[in-house]
């Protein structure tokens, strides 16, 4: 039928229904009416006014007028690809999540990489965190592992997310600057939020200027749970590691590319897949028990902390292969809706207060970005698993639900659709206790130990890059008190680091910021697994 050969990947089933091939076809309106002349509008005489009656012109212009949708409030700039995840082994002892049910089992995926702060048309190679969002179209519904290329985050609680993002985005009065972090507002916020210390070092490191989407790691960041069919659960951190190795640009390359080729990462991903050089990433799990977690010198609910690989090894469990470019950027890459709340039986959340806020945020924003409550019916978002429930109506509803019953329990439709019971998603019955309170556990207040661990784990070259990045960013900060506070924060991490940055700014090293806790900071040994070039 003239359709391109796009393979037998299961996600093609929903997408096939809407794929369009115009080869050898007549031009029509959206109502399917053949268009005789697509060059000239209908006029009262050749030099006369255009007629209201020209429904063909009006439909064409009206559709054009409404082509743009709001960009994502964060991660607006992205590039995506189709592929599959293949499990190395049967992991049913650990999790009932369908992708891990058998060795060699393949699950279709759609993956979107992104920058965080820039707008939809911004440059790819800026210093920023990169998103690494994976939608698994599993037998039991969609599981989205919405991760980043850096294993920790800026803040510990969702309450601070709008403030963080407002500080990073262009300033509201003049819409400048577009550069992700080189401005007063971000560094003002950072210097007043010492929990950011660990992330700041990753953010000024070479990790924040990856060479290619094919050459960067991905992390789930939060601690999750894996749950098996007996209801037994363990904690889990998710890691993606590119088989091509983890590589970065150097700053001068990144800065030059941002001007000369703003699509550098997008083009690289597209061309690699187009030429059959399929990007591959290994999924690794760090698995640990509640008892182990209780012994760690950090809180596993704190997203500003890693679990060092020396404490819990990363176990390789499967491979992600990206083997097909999207057919249409808007339909797929722009309209895909990832959501941290999309888990499937076998995966569960923890009480990480950042993750808890994310569970709310994604669907909420997508209702406005994608227009209404039915965006799960946009083909790229539709699960391969079937949808049966009593949700009805809403703007742009596609599904034609039949019958008189749209409630449950019912007797008139034989009780259908019926609850899945133990086959369905069951939350881990965690014990919660305590009074309602706003605050943080004490271990969350150790802001500097892991920042120091990151610093001492870097090679001399990598450390120099970090110092240079702080110098570059802070020379663009015009408020001296903000620069001084950043130096005072760095003074809690390492003397050579703060001295190097202060020297570059022509400033004295100030006294360190007061610590947020009397508890001694934990003294980690250097971790070779954190060094970029050790991989």
Smallest gap from residue 21 Cβ to ligand HEM (A): 27
CA 286, CA 315: separation in Å to the nearest integer? 6
Region for 251 from its dihedrals, namely left if φ exceeds 0, alpha if ψ lies in -120 to 50, beta otherwise: alpha
CA 161, CA 132: separation in Å to the nearest integer? 19
Catalytic residue status for 75: yes
Binding piece for ligand HEM, criterion CB under 6 A, among 17-25, 66-74, 304-312, 498-506: 66-74
Binding piece for ligand HEM, criterion CB under 6 A, among 59-67, 69-77, 117-125, 506-514: 69-77
326 binds ligand HEM (CB under 6 A): no
State the catalytic residue, choosing from 9, 148, 374, 492.
Answer: 148
Convert 80-134 into a string of H (helix), E (strand) and C (coil).
EEEEEEEECCCCCCCCCCHHHCCCCCEEEEEEEEEECCCCCCCCCCCCCCEEEEE
Applying CB under 6 A, among 161, 278, 329, 425 the residue interacting with ligand HEM is 161
Burial class (CB in 10 A: 0-12, 13-18, 19+), 435: exposed
Query: DSSP letter at 184?
Result: H
361 binds ligand HEM (CB under 6 A): yes
State the catalytic residue, choosing from 75, 265, 376, 465.
Answer: 75
- In the complex with ligand HEM, the residue whose CB is nearer, 141 or 147, is 147
Largest CA-CA distance found in the chain, in angstroms, rounded? 87
- Touching ligand HEM, residues 138-157 (CB under 6 A): 146-148, 153
Query: DSSP letter at 196?
Result: G
CA 333, CA 337: separation in Å to the nearest integer? 9
- In the complex with ligand HEM, the residue whose CB is nearer, 148 or 212, is 148
Q: Where do the DSSP E strands lie in 325-379?
A: 347-348
241 binds ligand HEM (CB under 6 A): no
R_g of the chain computed on alpha carbons: 26
Applying CB under 6 A, among 183, 358, 465, 483 the residue interacting with ligand HEM is 358
Residues in the chain: 535
114 binds ligand HEM (CB under 6 A): yes
Helices (H) and strands (E) in the chain — how many of each?
13, 10
118 binds ligand HEM (CB under 6 A): no
Catalytic residue status for 142: no
73 binds ligand HEM (CB under 6 A): yes
75 binds ligand HEM (CB under 6 A): yes
Burial class (CB in 10 A: 0-12, 13-18, 19+), 220: buried
Which tokens go with 122? 């911004």
Binding piece for ligand HEM, criterion CB under 6 A, among 34-42, 52-60, 170-178, 356-364: 356-364
- Continuous H helices in 208-352: 251-260, 264-274, 290-295
**Per rule CB under 6 A, count of chain residues that contact ligand HEM:** 27
Smallest gap from residue 82 Cβ to ligand HEM (A): 14
DSSP H or E run through 78: strand 78-87
74 binds ligand HEM (CB under 6 A): yes
Applying CB under 6 A, among 41, 122, 292, 365 the residue interacting with ligand HEM is 365
The distance from CA 286 to its chain's CA centroid, rounded to whole angstroms, is 20
Q: Identify the bridge partners of residue 142 per DSSP, sorted by sequence position.
A: 137
131 binds ligand HEM (CB under 6 A): yes
Smallest gap from residue 336 Cβ to ligand HEM (A): 6
- In the complex with ligand HEM, the residue whose CB is nearer, 57 or 367, is 367
- Touching ligand HEM, residues 334-353 (CB under 6 A): 336-338
The residues that touch ligand HEM, with contacts defined as CB under 6 A, are 72-75, 78, 112, 114, 131, 133, 146-148, 153, 158, 161, 221, 336-338, 354, 357-358, 361-362, 365-366, 369
Positions marked catalytic: 75, 148
């Amino acid at each position: 039928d003239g359709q391109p050969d796009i393979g037998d990947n299961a996600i093609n089933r929903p997408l096939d229904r809407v794929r369009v091939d115009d080869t050898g076809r007549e031009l029509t309106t959206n109502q399917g009416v053949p268009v005789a002349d697509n060059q000239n509008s209908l006029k009262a005489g050749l030099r006369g006014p255009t007629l209201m009656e020209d429904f063909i012109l009006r439909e064409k212009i009206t559709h054009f007028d409404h082509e743009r949708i709001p960009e994502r409030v964060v991660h607006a700039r992205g590039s995506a690809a189709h592929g599959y995840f293949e499990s190395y082994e049967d992991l049913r002892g650990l999790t009932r999540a369908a992708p891990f049910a058998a060795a060699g089992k393949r699950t279709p995926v759609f993956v979107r990489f992104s920058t965080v702060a820039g707008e939809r048309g911004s440059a790819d190679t800026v210093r920023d965190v990169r998103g690494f969002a994976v939608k698994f179209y599993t037998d039991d519904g969609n599981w989205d592992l919405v991760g980043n290329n850096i294993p920790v985050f800026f803040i510990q609680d969702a309450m601070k997310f709008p403030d963080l993002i407002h500080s990073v985005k262009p300033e509201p009065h003049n819409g400048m600057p577009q550069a992700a972090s080189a401005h007063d507002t971000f560094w003002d916020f950072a210097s007043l939020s010492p929990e950011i210390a660990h992330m700041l070092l990753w953010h000024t490191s070479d990790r924040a200027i990856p060479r290619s989407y094919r050459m960067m790691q991905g992390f789930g960041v939060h601690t999750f749970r894996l749950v098996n069919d007996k209801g037994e659960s363990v904690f889990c951190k998710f890691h993606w590691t590119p088989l091509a190795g983890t590589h970065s640009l150097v700053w001068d390359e990144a800065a030059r590319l941002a001007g000369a080729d703003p699509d550098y990462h997008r083009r690289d991903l597209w061309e690699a897949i187009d030429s059959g050089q399929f990007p591959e990433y290994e999924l690794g799990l760090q698995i640990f028990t509640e008892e182990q977690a209780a012994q760690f010198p950090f809180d596993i609910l704190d997203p500003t902390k890693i679990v060092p690989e020396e404490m819990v090894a990363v176990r390789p469990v499967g491979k992600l292969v990206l083997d097909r470019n999207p057919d249409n950027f808007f339909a797929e890459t722009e309209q895909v809706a990832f959501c941290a709340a999309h888990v499937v039986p076998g995966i569960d959340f923890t009480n990480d207060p950042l993750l808890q806020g994310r569970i709310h945020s994604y669907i909420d924003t997508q209702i406005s970005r994608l227009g209404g409550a039915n965006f799960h019916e946009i083909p790229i978002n539709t699960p391969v698993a079937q949808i049966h429930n009593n949700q009805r109506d809403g703007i742009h509803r596609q599904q034609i639900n039949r019958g008189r019953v749209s409630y449950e329990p019912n007797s008139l439709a034989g009780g259908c659709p019926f609850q899945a019971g133990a086959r369905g998603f069951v939350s881990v019955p965690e014990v919660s206790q305590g009074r309602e309170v706003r605050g943080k556990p004490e271990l969350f207040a150790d802001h500097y130990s892991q920042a120091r661990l990151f610093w001492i784990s870097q090679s001399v070259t990598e450390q120099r890059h970090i110092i240079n990045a702080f110098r570059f960013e802070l020379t663009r900060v015009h408020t001296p008190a903000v620069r001084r506070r950043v130096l005072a924060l760095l003074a809690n991490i390492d003397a050579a680091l703060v001295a190097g940055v202060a020297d570059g700014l022509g400033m004295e090293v100030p006294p360190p910021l007061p610590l947020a806790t009397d508890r001694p900071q934990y003294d980690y040994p250097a971790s070779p697994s954190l060094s970029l070039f050790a991989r």
